[in-house]
Structure 1
Amino acid sequence: MLFNSFQYLLFLPLVFAVYWMVNKRSLALQNVLLLIASYFFYACWDWRFLFLLIFSTGLDYYTGLKMHQAENQKLKTFWFWLSVSVNLGFLGIFKYYNFFAESFAQMLSALGFHPNLWMLDVILPVGISFYTFHGLSYVIDIYKSRITPEKNIVTYSLFVSYFPLLVAGPIERATHLLPQIKVARKFNYLQAMQGVKQIIWGLFKKVVVADNCAFFVNQIFDHAGSHSASELWLGMFLFSFQIYGDFSGYSDIALGTSKLFGIDLLRNFSFPYFSRDIADFWRRWHISLSSWFRDYVYIPLGGNKGSKIKQLRNVFVIFLLSGFWHGANWTFIFWGLLHALLFIPLLLLNKNRNSLSATSFNFRVYCKMGLTFLLVSFAWIFFRANTITEAFQYLAGMFDFSNLSLNYFYSNTKFALLTVISLFSIAFLGFIEWKSVLRGNPEVRLTKMMVFIVLFFLFCMGTYRNEMSFIYFQF
């Protein structure tokens, strides 16, 4: 069930209405209702993988209790590694087995061997990377004695499978979400209206910005060799806005939906394309994943303490893992490597935290923002391309200035109209977010006029296009 689908338009109001109807009866009944709705929401993708989600939830719930009850450190460690191994094992089998098998087969073929390896013929369970990381953070926090295990199975199950965040995050922490699930919630009209506006803004990002950009991006990246340098440059920039509109749009809808139920989720984006450097970008982009790797991998490795060699090692580990988390393809690993290489100069010069307290804007700051956006956009080419070879071919075509035509976009009236809509929607998105940055607002605050404009665009887009899936569903 997609957030931008007609089915969700029926599902959300129904759950919302019943949820607040049972509010006065009992908190337990309210949580049971949300859990049933979450399982139904997930089963709409593929009901068979619902059993995998339930098994993973039960495993972490049980091992969490066993770690807390363990009489010695050895037994506690056993239960911890059992949970981690099984969870990562499922993630590895479904998401990475074919990648490793194919890579190993290619390596043997290069040496003259021709193995016939068994491949896994199964689709990737939607959201497996997200709910696996939910569970891992929970068991790690128990193992480190930061929290005590949740004894109520319904409460813990809802923490893992809460439908607004189940498929594509944000990646929540037990310390943030569990306390909200365990306390009575009262309807707050102001909070609910903020949620509705955030849902509308998220739909604008997805349906108007991202999906319009996707129309051109797919054509350009899939047939890069037949496009001019100008069109390739435009394709790169359009993908930058497509992936931002797509993923941050999902996060806005998730956060807005959750506000309707009186629960606040972690913010996942903070105007990343206005970053002043790569370090600042990663403090603003997919914040829940960046902070997860920081807290559970980077800091345990030593973080920014110790020698520069160790710091560099930690940076490479974090960015390569981040790339690998996104998908089983060398393009994602190379994308992570690129960001590590862009981050290293800041680390060596001790400038990776300069932007934390920066609030002023001047010509130099604007130049730094533009350069950061350009570097991030170049890296997105490897994220979008099917292979590293195709990505380098795309880059080579961008700098072939013998052909600078834009004939593709003006070949017919439909292309020209969609081009205008795409550029105007991007400009509108940038204008609204820039106003929020200047005012120091943590998120976009829509006025009534803005809501009217956004709804008009959504109505126009919905009249000719079917719903399109979200990019991060594949991760």
Structure 2
Amino acid sequence: MLFNSFTFLLFLPIVFLLYWFVFQKNLKLQNAFLLLASYVFYGWWDWRFLGLIIASSAVDYWCGLKIVNGKPSVVSGDRPHDTTHHLQLTIYKNWFQGPKFYLTLSLAFNLGLLAFFKYFNFFIDSAADFISLLGFQPHISTLNLILPVGISFYTFQTLSYSIDVYRGNLKPTKDPVAFFTFVAFFPQLVAGPIERASNLLPQFFKKREFIYQQGSDGMKLILWGLFKKMVIADNCALVVNPIFENYQTASGLELIMGAILFAFQIYGDFSGYSDIAIGVAKLFGFDLMTNFRTPYFSRDIAEFWRRWHISLSTWFRDYVYIPLGGSRVPKAKAIRNIFIVFLVSGFWHGANWTFIAWGGIHAALFIPIFLIGKNRTHLHEGEHLLPSFKEAFQIISTFLLVCVAWVFFRADTVGDAWGYLTGILLRPFMEGFRLSTYMLTIVLISILLFLEWLMKGELMLSFRKPILRYSSYSMVVGLILFYGVFFNPQDFIYFQF
């Protein structure tokens, strides 16, 4: 079910009214109703994959309890002649009854599902290509697999629960309804934010009452998210898709415009989803983590990754980078750790070498900043209304580097991405270029950037003066009505991940 569909326009108010007016007095019934609504929301796409999310929830719920309850056996030592055998048996029992076994089971089950549905054909095709390079003709069959929507998001969410319970950072819940609802919570189910159990799960055990200000903030986020998706992302898509599909014949300037507009397409699409998800959650009394903070105003690539897809970047930081040693190791190992995180992050996005190349480019851009100790320079927003010349240069140069990497993210193959970038330099620069084709999209993006710069660090559209606040509401609603893509709505890009 798409946030920008008429189906969701009917679904949301029905669920909202039942949630607050029928089930409000009983917290457990409220949670159970949310779980049912979440399964309807997810099953609307393909009900057959409900079994996967239910199975993932059940395994991690059970493993969480067993991680805490699993106790190692003690060697009594009362049979000296059989001590070695008894010790081996104890070690065997400790492994299969201990916390590490159940953590391993959770990891294997969730990553196994993800690997099978998302990466099976990739590994098969890659193996076939490698065998072909050796001069053989392999006959390997792939499977016609459908990728379940949101599987990368909810598997990481449940994995963080199991890992945190194992580390002792979180107590496992004994309420299966609350846990299953935490995994399937429909606002952020299919494209994040990837919530930590320590933040979201406790909210299912607290009595919730509708607070006007929270609901108002939620509606602002929903409105702003719809603007970014329907007006910015979907209008950019109308221009970007033909350019990437026919990049061999496009002029250099058209290719530049395609790369820049794709950067805004994916930002409007993904951050728009996150805004809507956070806003919808607020309508039901929940607070989700911020997933984007105006990333295209970043002054270096390190700052960009503190502002872009924050829930994923912090997930990899806490569960991959730090366990590998983080930066508290010799420089060579720290560089290795950075490359691992960025490459894995790229591979998380999809089973294609283009995503791995995208991750590798970001690693290559990040490491020089890390080596000179400047990766934590820009930790705060600029304080001035207008950026200085230095800040403007940093913002623009960082954005252009990000756009180069986005070409690999958008292209079908690494060869296509390379051909696209070389075409910028080798093709006639302005042949066939018509500014009128891009003018509307440029104006809409300018409005987006102006409002985001004006409201940086604050909730969007939350001007203190009523006249400015209501004028901004009216303007955004008008832009959605006049320029939003209502018919044949586009899927969110991150649904494929």
TM-score class, shorter = over 0.9
Residue 385 in 1 paired to residue 408 in 2?
no
Runs of 4 or more above 4 Å deviation? none
SS in 1 for 2:248: helix
1:443 Cα deviation from its structure 2 partner: 4.8
- Provide the C-alpha distance between the structure 2 equivalents of 1:378 and 1:462, rounded to a whole number of angstroms: 28
* Letter of the 1:322 counterpart: S
1:405 Cα deviation from its structure 2 partner: 3.1
1:12 Cα deviation from its structure 2 partner: 0.2
1:24 Cα deviation from its structure 2 partner: 3.9
Match of 1:114 in 2: 137
- Provide the C-alpha distance between the structure 2 equivalents of 1:221 and 1:204, rounded to a whole number of angstroms: 24
- Unmatched runs of 5 consecutive residues or more in structure 1: 411-415
* Letter of the 2:355 counterpart: F
Alignment equivalent of 1:133, drawn from 156, 165, 179? 156
Match of 2:445 in 1: 426
Aligned residues of 2:236 and 2:264 also touching (Cα < 8 A): yes
Alignment equivalent of 1:461, drawn from 452, 471, 483? 483
1:463 Cα deviation from its structure 2 partner: 7.2
Residue 445 in 1 paired to residue 462 in 2?
yes
Alignment equivalent of 1:208, drawn from 231, 248, 254? 231
Aligned residues of 2:252 and 2:427 also touching (Cα < 8 A): yes
Q: Which moved more, 1:358-367 or 1:291-300?
A: 358-367
Aligned residues of 2:193 and 2:274 also touching (Cα < 8 A): yes
Give percent identity, aligned residues only.
53
Alignment equivalent of 2:396, drawn from 370, 381, 385? 370
Residue 396 in 1 paired to residue 422 in 2?
yes
* Higher Cα radius of gyration: 2
Q: Map of 1:56-455 to 2, 5 A cutoff? A: 56-72=56-72, 74=95, 75-357=98-380, 359-360=382-383, 361-400=387-426, 402-407=428-433, 416=437, 419-437=438-456, 440-441=457-458, 443=460, 445=462, 447-455=469-477
1:406 Cα deviation from its structure 2 partner: 4.5
* Letter of the 2:56 counterpart: S
Match of 1:413 in 2: none
1:379 Cα deviation from its structure 2 partner: 0.5
* Letter of the 2:400 counterpart: L
Match of 1:38 in 2: 38
Aligned residues of 1:230 and 1:406 also touching (Cα < 8 A): no
- Provide the C-alpha distance between the structure 2 equivalents of 1:245 and 1:201, rounded to a whole number of angstroms: 10
* Letter of the 1:150 counterpart: T
Aligned residues of 2:57 and 2:183 also touching (Cα < 8 A): yes
1:358 Cα deviation from its structure 2 partner: 6.0
1:76-105 Cα distance to aligned partner (Å, 9 max, x none): 111110110011001000000000000000
- Provide the C-alpha distance between the structure 2 equivalents of 1:164 and 1:35, rounded to a whole number of angstroms: 11
1:402 Cα deviation from its structure 2 partner: 2.8
Match of 1:16 in 2: 16
1:283-338 Cα distance to aligned partner (Å, 9 max, x none): 00000000000000101111111110011011000000000000000000000000
Match of 2:86 in 1: none
SS in 2 for 1:11: helix
1:256-278 Cα distance to aligned partner (Å, 9 max, x none): 00010010101000000000100
* Letter of the 1:405 counterpart: E
| Cα gap change, 1:45 to 1:111, in 2 (>3 Å) | same
SS in 2 for 1:226: coil
Aligned residues of 1:270 and 1:443 also touching (Cα < 8 A): no
* Letter of the 2:439 counterpart: V
- Provide the C-alpha distance between the structure 1 equivalents of 2:394 and 2:485, rounded to a whole number of angstroms: 40
- Provide the C-alpha distance between the structure 2 equivalents of 1:456 and 1:330, rounded to a whole number of angstroms: 41
* Letter of the 1:430 counterpart: L
TM-score (norm 2): 0.92
| Cα gap change, 1:59 to 1:396, in 2 (>3 Å) | same
Aligned residues of 2:231 and 2:485 also touching (Cα < 8 A): no
Aligned residues of 1:270 and 1:442 also touching (Cα < 8 A): no
1:110 Cα deviation from its structure 2 partner: 1.2
Aligned residues of 1:209 and 1:245 also touching (Cα < 8 A): yes
Match of 2:48 in 1: 48
SS in 1 for 2:345: helix
1:363 Cα deviation from its structure 2 partner: 1.3
1:369-388 Cα distance to aligned partner (Å, 9 max, x none): 11100100110000000000
1:142 Cα deviation from its structure 2 partner: 0.7
SS in 1 for 2:412: coil
TM-score (norm 1): 0.96
1:142-182 Cα distance to aligned partner (Å, 9 max, x none): 11111111100000001100000100000000110011111
Aligned residues of 1:255 and 1:265 also touching (Cα < 8 A): yes
- Provide the C-alpha distance between the structure 1 equivalents of 2:471 and 2:491, rounded to a whole number of angstroms: 29
- Provide the C-alpha distance between the structure 2 equivalents of 1:113 and 1:57, rounded to a whole number of angstroms: 43
Q: Which moved more, 1:399-408 or 1:37-46?
A: 399-408
Instruction: Say what the alpha-carbon RMSD is for the aligned residues.
Output: 1.4
* Letter of the 2:462 counterpart: R
1:442 Cα deviation from its structure 2 partner: 5.7
- Provide the C-alpha distance between the structure 1 equivalents of 2:431 and 2:66, rounded to a whole number of angstroms: 66
Aligned residues of 2:227 and 2:484 also touching (Cα < 8 A): no
1:401 Cα deviation from its structure 2 partner: 5.3
SS in 2 for 1:345: helix
Provide the aligned length of Structure 1 versus Structure 2: 466
- Provide the C-alpha distance between the structure 1 equivalents of 2:121 and 2:20, rounded to a whole number of angstroms: 45
